[in-house]
Structure 1
Amino acid sequence: MSVKTLHPDYQIYSPKWRLVRDAVEGESAIKRVPERYLPEFVPKDPERYKRYVERAYFLGVTGRTRAAMSGMVFRKDPSYEIPEQLEELVFNADGAGTSIEHIAKEALGGVLDTGRHCFLLDYPTIDDSIDYETEQNIGARPLLLSYQAESLINWKYEKINGRRVLTLAVLVELVQDENKTNEFDHDVVKNYRVLRLRDGVYTQQMYDDGGQAKSEEFIPRVAGGMPLDHIPLYIVGAENNLPDIDDAPLYDLSVLNVAHYRNNADLEEAGFITGQPTLHMNIGETNPEVFAEQNPDGVQLGSRRGIITQGGSVELVQPEERSLLVQLKESKEKEMVGIGARLIQRGGPSETAEAARINASAESSTLDQVVNNLSYALTGALMDAGRFVGLAPQAVEEIRYDLNTDFFETDLDAQQLMALIQLGDVGILSRSLQREAIRKGRIHIPHETEDQDIDSEIAGTPL
C-alpha cells in the first residue's frame, strides 16, 4: 500500500461524481468522451457515429439548476462574527486573494455535485524559537484551503474516548512541475499532503508524484508553540458532516439529464434517417431498361422536371409527426421538472409567488441542510484559525460564519404588519425583533432570545 491508495468508498463514488460534474459543465464535457454517454454502433461505423454525436444536443438542466440554487443562497451576503485578528481572512482566505464568500460558493457547488467538499485550516511552518510577536511581524497567518471531493483520496477514523475522530487524511494537490526546463510549459504534477493524528498530536507530511516523501513529518503549532489535538480538516456533507460519503443532491437529476440526451440523440438520428421525404415510384408496365432509356438523367424532383412511364404512379412517403422517441424525451423533461429542474418548464404569469415556494419545497429543504453544514464547517475552520493566532478560548467560541438560508423574497402583508406593531405596543416584541421580522418577512422570536432580554430592551426604549 502506498500514499496513492484510494479509499474503497472513493472508488465507488468517483464515477458518480464525474457524471454530475460533466452534466453541470454541459455539452462540451458530455461530448468530450462521446462513447461515455452515447453507446457506439454495433458493428462499428465511425463516420456515422461521429454524425450521430454531432446532431445530438445536451439540454443543460443540471448546470442551470445548480446555478439557481447557488443564487438562492448568495442573494444575501453571509453574516459573520470574526475578531479583528482574522479580518484579513474574509477577503483573502487562502493567501491568493480568494475571499471566504468565494470559497463558500465553490464549496456549495461541490457539495451539490458530489455530496462532499473539504476545508483545511493550514498554518505556515515556523521555527520553534520564534515567539508569537515575531510571527505577527513576519506576516505569518492561517490559511483556509478548499479541496474538492476528488482531492480527498483516502481517510481513516478511529474511536477515541467514545468519539469518531479523523486520524488520517490524504489530499492530492496539483502543482507546477519543479523540474520543467521550459518556462512556458504548463505541466503539472501531483503532490500528496498527508494529515495524521499521532497520539493526539496533529502532523503533516508531503509526498511527491512518485509516492516518495518530500519532507519530514512535522507538527504545525498554534501560537505559543502548542500542537493541535485534532486534524483541522472539515469534511462537508450533503446530509451531515460525518465521515461517510453522502449522495450528491444533483445525482438523480444528472442521470435523468443524460438519459434525456440519449433519447435526443436517437430522435435526431431517426429524424435524419426517416424525416426527409422518400420518393416511392411505381413504373407500372414500363420495362426497367426502357425506363432508363426514356429517363437518361434519372429521377429528379422539382416542378420543371418530369419522368416518362407507362402507367404507374409517384408518391412521397413521410413518417408521422409523433413517435415513441418523442414521447420518451418529453416524459423525461417532465420528470426533470419534478426533481427540481423547473427552468425547463416554468409556470406562466398565473403562478403565484406562494405556488413557486411550494413547488420548490423539496429542493429548499435539501439546500437548507447543505447550507447549514457549510456554515458549521466554515465556523469550525475559522475557530481553528483563532487558535493558531492565539485568541482566548472565549473569543474563539464567539466566532461564526453563517450563509444565508432565506432563499425566497418574503414580505409581510398589511394585516401582519399591523399585528407586528400591536405586539410591540403591548410589550410582547422589542423594536429589534420587530425590525428583524420585517427583514425576514415573518414574525418569529429566536429560541435563544430570553424573555428577560426582550423585557430589558423594551424597558430601555424611549417612547
Structure 2
Amino acid sequence: MQHQTGIETVAASYAHSIEDWVACRDASNGQREVHRKGEVYLPRLGGQDADEYKAYLLRSTFLGAFGRTVEAFSGMIFRRDPVIKLPGKMEEWQKDVTGDGIDLVSFASMVVDESLITARSGILVDFPSTDGYGDLTIAEAERLKLVPFLRLYTAESIVNWRFGDLPNGGYGVVKVVLLEHVEEESVSNEFETVELRQYRVLDFHEGEYRQRIYRQDQKGATKRRTGVVDANREEKPTGETPNADSLYTGQKISGYHLYEVFPQIGGKRLNYLPFTFINVRTLTANVEKPPMLDLVNQNFQHYRISADYYHGLHYVGLPTPYITGVSADEAPTQIGPSQIWHLSNPESKVGYLQVDAAGFQSLREEMVAIEGRMAAMGARMLAPEKSGVEAAETLNIKSRGEHSTLSKISGTVSRGIEQALIIARDWMSTSGEVVFELNKDFVAATLTSGDITALLGAWQAGAISKEVLFDKLKQGEIIREDVEFEDHEEAIEEGAEDLAGMFGATEESQDQAGSRSPAGEQDEEALVDQEDPEGSE
C-alpha cells in the first residue's frame, strides 16, 4: 500500500490487513467481481496477449464457496429471532435504526456478515444535525422528530485510530478516522455525478466529542455517469452530509474542504466517542484475522487451477490440424467434408495435434481435493476451541456450537449492538433495560417421540421440575422460542377448561361422578380381576 500523508494516513495494522480484507470481500461478492479484478487473482500466462488473456479469463470459473459459507452461517445465527428488550420509547425506533428504512434485525444481519467476511466493523451512533435550531432541549428534539441513527462501517472504511487518555478517565481510543464515499452533482454538468472521498474524524477537542469532516474537492473527484450503478458499492452516502452553509469552516486542506460539528445530547456535549468496534472476539480497536481467510485462499487457488483446467479442455476439444511435406504455396487453406486436398508429395503427412486428456486428471483431482478442504475449513467454524484432548465423538453438533468461532461471533456482535443501543437510548433521554442477544443454537435439534416420552416420565417420577421439562421442550423446538413458562401454563389451563366444557364436564356432572366413585372403584377392581384372574389368591 502506498504511503499516505495528512488525512489520508492509515494505521499500520490497517495497511497490513487491507489486502486480506479486500480478498475476502471480493470472494464473497463472487465471480463477477473476481473476474473484474483480472490479474490480481489470475496471473497472465507467459506470452499471452490481451485478447488471449481475456479468453483465458472468461473460460475460468470461480466457485462461490466462501460466499455460500457466509450465507449459511448467517442463516444459522438468524434461524431464531434475536432476544430484544428495549424501552417503550425505542420500540417504534427499532423499525428504522439507520434513518433510511433498515430495521434493527436487518442491521444486525449486516454486522454479522461483516464479522464473517473480514472479522471487523464499527457502529457509529449519530444524530441529525441540529444546526440552525440552536441548543435544543430533549422535548424540542422530540417535537422535531430528531432521533439518533446507527451507521455501519466496514473494515476497509475504518482507516485510522489512536489510543490515549480519555476525558472521563482511563485509557482508550481517542480518535477514529472513517472513510466514506459520497456523490454530488457535478458543478459543470447537472446530469453528471461526481464521486467524492470524505473522511469523518471522531475525536475530542478540549475534552468534548467532535466530528470533523474532510470532503474532497470536485477537482480531484472521480466522475460517474448518472444511472450507472456499481452493485458492490453503496450509492447512499454513509453518514449525514454536512450542511455547507453552517458547518463549513472556510478551510481547505490538501484538496479537502473541512467541516466541523459538536454533537449534543439535550444541549450538552459528549465526553465519549459514540463508536463501537466489533471484531470476532472483542470490541476493541485491535485488528483480528478474518475467521475464514484460509478458506478464501483455498477458494482462489481452486479458481486458478480451474482456469488452467478449462484452458486445457478448450484445446482438447479443438484439435489443431497439421500437414508436412508441402510448400507454403501448396498448403491447403480450408478444411472440411466438402474440401479435397491434392498433395503432390507422396510422403506428405496430415493429422491433428491433440493434447492428451489424461494429463488433466491431476488438475481435476486437485480441484476436488481443494473443495474437500474448503468444506472442512467451513465446518471448523462450528468446532470448539479445545483446551485439552477430547474425542470428537463425545461431542454433538449442538454442544460444539456453544464454544465455536461462530458462537463467539454471535456473542461479540450481540454485545457490540447492545452497546450501540445503550448509547442511542441515552441520546433519546429515556431509561429502561436494553438487551440484544443473537441466537447461539445453530442446528435444529427436534426431540423424537422417545425423547419426549423419557422427559415426561422423568417429570412424572419427580426427577425434574415442570420448569426444566418446559425448557427441554423449548430447546428441542417442540415449544416456540418466544413462549414463556407462565404463558404456556396459562394456555394449558385455558385449554383444559375449554376441553372440559366441550365434553360437558360441568361442576354438577363432576359432583355426580364423585357420588358414584365407590361403585366406580368396585367396577375398576372387577375389571382388573377379569384381566388378571390369577391376581387373587
Task: Give me the whole-angstrom Cα distance separating, in 2, the residues matched to 1:262 and 1:364.
Answer: 35
Give the alignment partner of residue 63 of structure 1, picking from 67, 76, 81: 67
Q: CA deviation at 1:32?
A: 0.6
Q: Which residue of 2 aligns with 1:216?
A: 260
Q: CA deviation at 1:54?
A: 1.4
Q: Which residue of 1 aligns with 2:440?
A: 405
- Structure 1 residue runs without a partner (length 5+): 343-353, 444-453
Q: Which residue of 1 aligns with 2:136?
A: 130
SS in 2 for 1:390: coil
Instruction: Give the direction of change, closer, same or farther, for the CA distance of 1:311–1:193 in structure 2 (3 Å limit).
Output: closer
Give the alignment partner of residue 241 of structure 1, picking from 258, 271, 283: 283
SS in 2 for 1:166: strand
Output one character per residue of 1:322-371: Cα deviation in whole Å (capped at 9) or x when no partner.
533223322222221221289xxxxxxxxxxx999759958981111111
2:288 is the alignment partner of 1:250: no
Note if contact 2:119-2:288 (Cα within 8 Å) is conserved in structure 1. yes
Task: Give me the whole-angstrom Cα distance separating, in 2, the residues matched to 1:100 and 1:147.
Answer: 16
Output one character per residue of 1:272-306: Cα deviation in whole Å (capped at 9) or x when no partner.
2345446677x8xxx757x998xx85895659978
2:310 is the alignment partner of 1:268: yes
Q: CA deviation at 1:310?
A: 5.0
Note if contact 1:113-1:248 (Cα within 8 Å) is conserved in structure 2. yes
- Identify which of structures 1 and 2 has the higher relative contact order when contacts are C-alpha pairs closer than 8 Å and 6+ apart: 1
Superposed, which structure 2 residues align to 1:434-449 within 5 Å?
434-441=469-476
Partner amino acid, structure 1, of 2:193: H
Task: Give me the whole-angstrom Cα distance separating, in 1, the residues matched to 2:413 and 2:288.
Answer: 14
Q: Which residue of 2 aligns with 1:191?
A: 198
Task: Give me the whole-angstrom Cα distance separating, in 1, the residues matched to 2:272 and 2:419.
Answer: 12
Superposed, which structure 2 residues align to 1:1-400 within 5 Å?
1-126=5-130, 129-158=135-164, 164-177=171-184, 180=187, 182-198=189-205, 200-209=207-216, 211=253, 212=256, 214-218=258-262, 220-223=263-266, 225-277=267-319, 288=326, 319-323=356-360, 324-340=362-378, 358=397, 365-392=404-431, 395=432, 398-400=433-435
Instruction: Give the direction of change, closer, same or farther, for the CA distance of 1:162–1:438 in structure 2 (3 Å limit).
Output: farther
Instruction: Give the direction of change, closer, same or farther, for the CA distance of 1:427–1:169 in structure 2 (3 Å limit).
Output: farther
SS in 2 for 1:197: strand
Note if contact 2:185-2:193 (Cα within 8 Å) is conserved in structure 1. no
Instruction: Give the direction of change, closer, same or farther, for the CA distance of 1:341–1:430 in structure 2 (3 Å limit).
Output: closer
- Structure 2 residue runs without a partner (length 5+): 218-252, 381-392, 479-484, 497-537
Q: CA deviation at 1:190?
A: 2.1
Q: Which residue of 2 aligns with 1:349?
A: none
Q: CA deviation at 1:44?
A: 4.7
SS in 2 for 1:229: coil
Note if contact 1:276-1:318 (Cα within 8 Å) is conserved in structure 2. no
Partner amino acid, structure 1, of 2:417: L
Partner amino acid, structure 2, of 1:221: Q
Q: CA deviation at 1:19?
A: 0.7
Partner amino acid, structure 1, of 2:455: L
Aligned-residue RMSD, C-alpha: 3.7
Q: Which residue of 2 aligns with 1:347?
A: none
SS in 2 for 1:86: helix
SS in 1 for 2:404: helix
Task: Give me the whole-angstrom Cα distance separating, in 2, the residues matched to 1:182 and 1:315.
Answer: 62
Q: Which residue of 1 aligns with 2:388?
A: none
Query: What is the number of residues matched between the two proteins?
Result: 425
SS in 2 for 1:176: strand
- Of the structure 1 ranges 57-66 and 315-324, higher mean CA displacement relative to structure 2 is found in 315-324
Q: CA deviation at 1:5?
A: 1.5
2:453 is the alignment partner of 1:418: yes
Identity of aligned residues (%): 28
- Of the structure 1 ranges 24-33 and 324-333, higher mean CA displacement relative to structure 2 is found in 324-333
Instruction: Give the direction of change, closer, same or farther, for the CA distance of 1:74–1:53 in structure 2 (3 Å limit).
Output: same
Q: CA deviation at 1:426?
A: 6.0
Task: Give me the whole-angstrom Cα distance separating, in 2, the residues matched to 1:292 and 1:176.
Answer: 63
Instruction: Give the direction of change, closer, same or farther, for the CA distance of 1:266–1:374 in structure 2 (3 Å limit).
Output: same
Output one character per residue of 1:116-168: Cα deviation in whole Å (capped at 9) or x when no partner.
01111112344564322222111121111111111111111235599542210
Q: CA deviation at 1:242?
A: 2.0
Q: CA deviation at 1:427?
A: 6.0
Instruction: Give the direction of change, closer, same or farther, for the CA distance of 1:88–1:280 in structure 2 (3 Å limit).
Output: same
Partner amino acid, structure 2, of 1:403: L
Q: CA deviation at 1:232?
A: 1.3
SS in 2 for 1:215: strand
Note if contact 1:112-1:249 (Cα within 8 Å) is conserved in structure 2. yes
State TM-score, norm by structure 2. 0.69
Question: Looking at CA atoms only, which structure, 1 or 2, has the larger radius of gyration?
Answer: 2
Note if contact 2:398-2:443 (Cα within 8 Å) is conserved in structure 1. no
Partner amino acid, structure 1, of 2:419: G
State TM-score, norm by structure 1. 0.80
Partner amino acid, structure 2, of 1:333: E
